[in-house]
Amino acid sequence: MSRGRRAKPAEIKALLGNPGKRRLALLSPKAGASGADVAPSIHVPEPPSFLDDDEREAFAFVYETMPLNLVRESDKVAVSRWAGWLVKWVNAKRRLADKGNDSYVSVSKHGSFVRVDADFNVMCKAEANLVTLEDRLGLNTVARSNLTSKLFQMPGPHPGALFEDDEPAAGKKPAAEAPAVKEEIDPLGFLDGAGKQYSPSKTH
């Protein structure tokens, strides 16, 4: 009798990103195969035309490095937005590095004031949008763990018919009808039906 925790299937390990970096069964040759590694191919969809070269590189990076079946082709627009904000954040950071400071001193007739550089505000806004998109797309460890756990806990399809007019599958008994609900009777109606007429003038 084996003891200990049951090992996770190779497909689930691949979906979780294989943090242990172990060789998965998905990458081992199948029995009777020619000996070449059998690994699922990574599909990178065609990026939208409104992305520039840097944004296209970030777009492809998501599809190439994310666990399989977690980011779909239907997420192209969301991934494109993430790539656009990432490039804005990087460019603003580089400009701040050239300036050597994220603030400057503004002198006016009212005095001297230390003001935040505009590129620093661009970085903050871009980072806020990046965090939101990363949480939705699973581009960080916590969000990815939450998404994968929800995927594995999703219930299967309902065994019964979807609509009342659908015919039951062959070999399956039709679902039992729900018992009829008795009509509710008010207290006075119950007494009338029981033969005990209630008289308000009668005292007990």
Q: Please give the helix or strand (H or E) that residue 127 lies within, else none.
A: helix 118-137
Instruction: Give the mean pLDDT of the chain.
Output: 73
Residue corresponding to tokens 């509710």 = 184
pTM confidence score: 0.54
Residue 61 has pLDDT above 80, yes or no: yes
CA-closest candidate to residue 15, choices 73, 71, 67, 72? 67
pLDDT bracket for residue 34 (50, 70, 90): very low
pLDDT digits (tens, 9 = 90+) for 138-181: 888 888 888 777 777 766 655 555 554 455 555 556 556 655 55
pLDDT, position 187: 66
pLDDT, position 77: 93
pLDDT, position 9: 63
CA-closest candidate to residue 67, choices 155, 149, 139? 139
Q: Give me 42's structure tokens.
A: 């990574």
- 193 vs 185: CA distance, rounded Å: 10
